[in-house]
């Protein structure tokens, strides 16, 4: 089944595809189309918006084609993060936190089709823009989850696994 054909209440793994703005970097990811909105200052700057949307998955589920540039930075959380981007157009494709080995986080804005994407929560709402009002249907964190089971709940869309 194509990922665009999924119903909103179904949690299924799909093959997601994406690319940078210029098309020099493409990827395939095997993941659920579930992402979280991050309101940290890094995501606001990186996305040129009020927040960024990201999808986390196992490193082995992401295949990238094309040359990537990278740099390491300290995130708002204090953790070191390796950031990977297209050196031609500058689009951030994904990042990999050193505190979460085996996991990568792709930027939802790079997906070819976002129609099946479901939000599972909001992180770093202590940094959100004051004019942005969030609904009450999704969980929120002032910063980010600290316990592994909270991260798993966020990644799974609120389901206990």
- The pLDDT value given to residue 19: 98
For strand 69-74 and strand 103-107, is the pairing parallel, antiparallel, or unpaired?
unpaired
- The pLDDT value given to residue 68: 98
- The pLDDT value given to residue 101: 85
- The pLDDT value given to residue 105: 93
CATH class of the domain whose range is 13-153: mainly beta
Query: Reading across the β-sheet that carries 118-123, which strands appear in turn?
Result: 69-74, 80-85, 92-97, 103-107, 52-58, 34-38, 118-123
- The pLDDT value given to residue 144: 85
Is the four-CA dihedral 89, 94, 98, 101 of positive or negative sign? negative
- The pLDDT value given to residue 135: 87
- The pLDDT value given to residue 11: 54
Q: What is the pTM of this model?
A: 0.80
Q: How does DSSP classify residue 133?
A: -
Positions of the chain with pLDDT lower than 70, given as ranges? 1-11, 155-161
């Amino acid at each position: 089944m194509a990922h665009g054909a999924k119903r909103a209440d179904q949690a299924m793994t799909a093959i997601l595809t994406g690319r940078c703005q210029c098309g020099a970097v493409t990827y395939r990811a095997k993941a659920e189309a579930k992402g979280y909105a991050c309101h940290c200052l890094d995501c606001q700057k990186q996305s040129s918006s009020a927040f960024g949307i990201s999808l986390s998955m196992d490193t082995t589920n992401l295949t990238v084609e094309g040359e990537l540039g990278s740099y390491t930075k300290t995130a708002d959380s204090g953790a070191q993060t390796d950031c990977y981007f297209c050196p031609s157009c500058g689009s951030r494709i994904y990042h990999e936190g050193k505190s979460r080995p085996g996991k990568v986080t792709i930027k939802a804005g790079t997906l070819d089709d976002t129609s099946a994407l479901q939000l599972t929560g909001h992180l770093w709402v202590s940094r959100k823009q004051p004019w942005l009002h969030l609904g009450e249907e999704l969980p929120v964190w002032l910063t980010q989850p600290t316990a592994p089971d909270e991260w798993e709940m966020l990644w799974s869309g609120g389901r206990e696994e």
